[in-house]
Amino acid sequence: MEPMISPVSDPHSRDLEGDFPLDGRNLDSVTDEALAGFLESAPVLHKLGATKVVRLSRHLVMKGGGSVLPCEAETLNFVASKTGIRAPRVHRAFQVEDETQYFGTKGYIVMDFIAG
> Using one digit for the tens of pLDDT, what is the confidence trace for 16-26?
788 899 999 99
Identify the CATH number of the domain defined by range 11-112: 3.30.200.20
Instruction: Tell me the C-alpha distance between 45 and 94, whole Å.
Output: 20
Say what percent of the chain tops pLDDT 90. Answer: 77
pLDDT tens string 69-104: 999 999 999 999 999 998 999 999 999 999 998 889
* pTM for the model: 0.90
End-to-end CA distance of the chain: give it in Å, rounded: 29
